[in-house]
Amino acid sequence: MLANMMDVLSRAPVEWGEHDKAVVEKWKACLKDLRVGNQEYNSLGNPVAIKGVEFILNCIKTSPKRYSSRMQELQDIIERLLEVNRSFENSDQRKQDFAIWQPHVHRQLSKLEELLKP
């Protein structure tokens, strides 16, 4: 599944077939889940995606198509997302920490969503 996602994202949207569009919809669902989970501060803790983002980053770095411009762009965004998530995870995770972290996460998610537009 992830290999399919990497393959699809390495190509321009005009090259996507029907199967590719189904893969893109799964990516969109994942991004939506990440965005919804970080809409508001939770004093009991907010989910911080670290392991999954690290896994995706490793998949990108080892992908045979890692040198395409789209994959380089994807890697940059994922690295930034991982950086801001680690920063928040290592903070006290107070409301003011969340207020700093959340817009950065949403900015990176928006950039990922842009890559998924046909």
CA distance 12 to 16: 7
CA distance 21 to 29: 12
| Mean predicted confidence (pLDDT) in 41-62 | 88
Rounded to two decimals, what is the model's pTM?
0.88
Q: How many domains does the chain have?
A: 1
Displacement of CA 88 from its chain's centroid (Å)? 16
Displacement of CA 31 from its chain's centroid (Å)? 6
Residue 76: domain span: 2-115
Over the stretch 64-91, which tens digit does the pLDDT of each residue have?
888 888 889 999 999 999 999 999 999 9
**Helix or strand (DSSP H, E) at 5:** helix 2-9
- The type of residue at 97 is D
